[in-house]
């Protein structure tokens, strides 16, 4: 008996990738009345979003030489949009998102050169940073231990898991987990995505769309290969080797270190864990240079860095771990970090790499601008009801440290 024909489901847009950029784009499409769904291969936010430090920064880390460059200016406009959303007055209501810190601190890490660089950075960006008196220092830099300078940066730090969860909640009926390896099949011909076949227990659904938004970070690569056109945007991967320190009594640490160079030697944020402890999440130049070190060597380097610059903090009982992550970006001629998002149309696909978490709203703007160029008009102020697909709901990922420090299962005798 021949197999029944697939049931065709037509939508305006399919978003591939459930990080913050994909979720923000989905919200914007629905608010404009487009019929849209989002497909995520693993868990929502499970790749680059959960690997981020949750900093909604204003570009100061890209101007540590005292010069406002294109990257710092592109990012500089973003914190206000996030602030509006976190107050509930922006395009997405994020009032329930957990804010870990309302600010970061610019931290000159010891040398005379770094102190001078910090001074000029603060003067150049004086509207974004404020020099603090010793009595205003956070507990990790108590005047009893630290005699140096600190500058307050108006850069909010959010809990990435909380952010993804709150962005997913109002659109949960449109978030699906898809198994590309075993069941689902994306079909492309002549540089266009024709459809996605989704086999179910009772029928196969053939999902078609006017536009497919590729917001899957590293996962954009395989889809572009299927499209097979040399003119499509190319991707570069910037590897990082992050370090996590866990202990129950860690003081809060939200710092952008500044040294003799133009890159922060250390960027540190503090996050709660499921068992009531805290972790320090360490990035910056430590993570960039750490790609050349194995795990134990990277942890050793982080230990030495903290022992040198925070000797008064007792880390003797802390647990340490490291992990690697590839940050996916639009390809640059010299392999450098892009100044802003890359959004480009390839056939009926819109390919997007935001570069930074904070740039998700701008990336969504650029994606929506591509939609406005097409003849397809949205249905009205509200999107149609979500279509039924033979797929499970997409769940929210856990922060990476929950897996890194998961207790080992007892051995069976």
pLDDT digits (tens, 9 = 90+) for 176-192: 999 999 999 999 998 89
Cα separation values, 256 from 103, 120, 265, 283, Å: 11, 15, 8, 9
Across the range 96-110, mean pLDDT stands at 93
Identify which of 86, 104, 168, 79 has the alpha carbon closest to the alpha carbon of residue 362: 79
- The β-bridge relationship of strands 192-199 and 342-346 is unpaired
| pLDDT value for 47 | 87
| pLDDT value for 121 | 58
Quick one: pLDDT band at residue 334, thresholds 50, 70, 90? confident
Compute how many other C-beta atoms are within 10 angstroms of the C-beta atom of residue 335: 9
User: Who wins on pLDDT, 76 or 11?
Assistant: 11
Compute how many other C-beta atoms are within 10 angstroms of the C-beta atom of residue 8: 10
Rounded CA separation 278/248 (Å): 6
Rounded CA separation 304/288 (Å): 16
- The β-bridge relationship of strands 36-40 and 175-177 is parallel
Q: Are 160 and 375 in contact (CB under 8 A)?
A: no
| pLDDT value for 228 | 77
| pLDDT value for 76 | 65
Rounded CA separation 266/399 (Å): 20
| pLDDT value for 120 | 55
On the question of pLDDT at 212 being above 80, the answer is yes
| pLDDT value for 57 | 80
Least confident of 19-33, 114-128, 173-187, 254-268: 114-128
On the question of pLDDT at 364 being above 80, the answer is yes
Q: Are 290 and 239 in contact (CB under 8 A)?
A: no
| pLDDT value for 217 | 93
And the tokens for 359? 């740039």
And the tokens for 112? 């005379």
What are phi and psi for residue 215, nearest 5 degrees? -125, 40
Give the position of tokens 């890209």: 62
And the tokens for 71? 């990257």
Rounded CA separation 39/178 (Å): 6
Rounded CA separation 248/270 (Å): 12
What are phi and psi for residue 16, nearest 5 degrees? -105, 115
Across the range 191-206, mean pLDDT stands at 93
Quick one: pLDDT band at residue 380, thresholds 50, 70, 90? low
Across the range 191-220, mean pLDDT stands at 94
Q: Are 400 and 244 in contact (CB under 8 A)?
A: yes
On the question of pLDDT at 69 being above 50, the answer is no
Question: Tens of pLDDT along 49-67?
Answer: 999 999 998 755 554 444 4
Give the position of tokens 């697909």: 389
And the tokens for 243? 């370090």
By CB atoms closer than 10 A (0-12, 13-18, 19+), residue 218 is: middle
Identify which of 166, 304, 292 has the alpha carbon closest to the alpha carbon of residue 241: 292
| pLDDT value for 156 | 94
On the question of pLDDT at 96 being above 90, the answer is yes
Least confident of 120-129, 198-207, 208-217, 270-279: 120-129
| Neighbouring residues of 20: CB distance < 8 A, sequence distance ≥ 6 | 45, 49, 163, 164, 167, 354, 357, 360
| pLDDT value for 66 | 46
Q: Which long-range contacts (CB under 8 A, 24 or more apart) does 70-77 make?
A: 70/339, 70/340, 71/337, 71/338, 71/339, 71/340, 72/125, 74/339, 74/340, 74/359, 74/362, 75/340, 75/356, 75/358, 75/359, 76/128, 77/362
Quick one: pLDDT band at residue 413, thresholds 50, 70, 90? very low
Question: Tens of pLDDT along 242-297?
Answer: 999 999 999 999 999 988 777 899 999 999 999 999 999 999 999 999 999 999 99
| pLDDT value for 112 | 61
Least confident of 23-37, 69-83, 188-202: 69-83
pLDDT-above-90 percentage for the chain? 66
Rounded CA separation 71/380 (Å): 36
| pLDDT value for 114 | 61
pLDDT-above-70 percentage for the chain? 86
Cα separation values, 168 from 6, 99, 410, Å: 29, 17, 35
Quick one: pLDDT band at residue 396, thresholds 50, 70, 90? very high
- The β-bridge relationship of strands 36-40 and 235-247 is unpaired
* Helical packing angle, 160-168 and 20-31, nearest 10°: 30
What are phi and psi for residue 264, nearest 5 degrees? -65, 125
What's the Rg (C-alpha) of the chain? 23
């Amino acid at each position: 008996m021949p197999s029944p024909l697939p049931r065709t489901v037509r939508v305006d847009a399919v978003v591939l990738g459930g990080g913050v950029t994909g979720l923000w784009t989905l919200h914007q499409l629905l608010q404009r009345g487009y019929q849209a769904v989002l497909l995520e291969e693993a868990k929502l936010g499970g790749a680059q979003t959960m690997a981020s430090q949750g900093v909604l920064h204003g570009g100061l880390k890209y101007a540590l030489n005292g010069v406002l460059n294109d990257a710092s200016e592109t990012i500089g406009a973003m914190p206000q949009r996030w602030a509006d959303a976190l107050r509930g007055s922006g395009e997405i209501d994020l009032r329930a998102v957990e804010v870990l810190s309302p600010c970061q601190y610019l931290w000159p890490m010891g040398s005379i050169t770094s102190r001078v660089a910090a001074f000029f950075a603060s003067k150049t960006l004086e509207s974004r940073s404020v020099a603090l008196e010793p009595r205003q220092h956070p507990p990790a830099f108590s005047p009893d231990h630290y005699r140096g300078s600190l500058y307050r940066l108006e850069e909010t730090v959010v809990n990435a898991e909380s952010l993804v969860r709150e962005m997913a909640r109002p659109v949960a009926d449109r978030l699906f987990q898809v198994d590309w390896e075993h069941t689902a099949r994306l079909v492309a011909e002549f540089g266009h995505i024709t459809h996605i076949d989704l086999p179910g227990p009772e029928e196969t659904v053939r999902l078609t769309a006017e536009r497919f938004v590729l917001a899957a970070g590293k996962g954009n690569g395989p889809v572009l290969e299927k499209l097979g056109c040399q003119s499509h945007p190319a991707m570069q991967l910037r590897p990082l080797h992050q370090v996590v320190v866990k202990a129950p009594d860690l003081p809060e640490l939200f710092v952008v270190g500044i040294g003799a160079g133009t890159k922060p030697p250390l960027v540190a944020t503090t996050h709660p864990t499921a068992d009531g402890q805290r972790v320090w999440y360490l990035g910056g130049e430590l993570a960039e240079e750490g790609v050349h070190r194995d795990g134990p060597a990277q942890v050793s380097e982080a230990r030495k860095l903290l022992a040198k610059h925070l000797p008064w903090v007792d880390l003797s009982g802390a647990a340490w771990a490291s992990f690697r992550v590839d940050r996916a970006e639009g390809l640059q001629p010299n392999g450098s970090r892009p100044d802003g998002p890359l959004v480009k149309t390839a056939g009926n696909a819109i390919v997007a790499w935001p570069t930074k978490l904070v740039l998700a709203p701008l990336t969504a703007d650029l994606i929506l601008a591509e939609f406005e160029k097409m003849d397809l008009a949205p249905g009205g102020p509200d999107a149609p009801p979500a279509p039924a697909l033979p797929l499970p709901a997409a769940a929210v990922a856990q922060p990476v440290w929950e897996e890194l420090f998961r207790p080992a299962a007892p051995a069976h005798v």
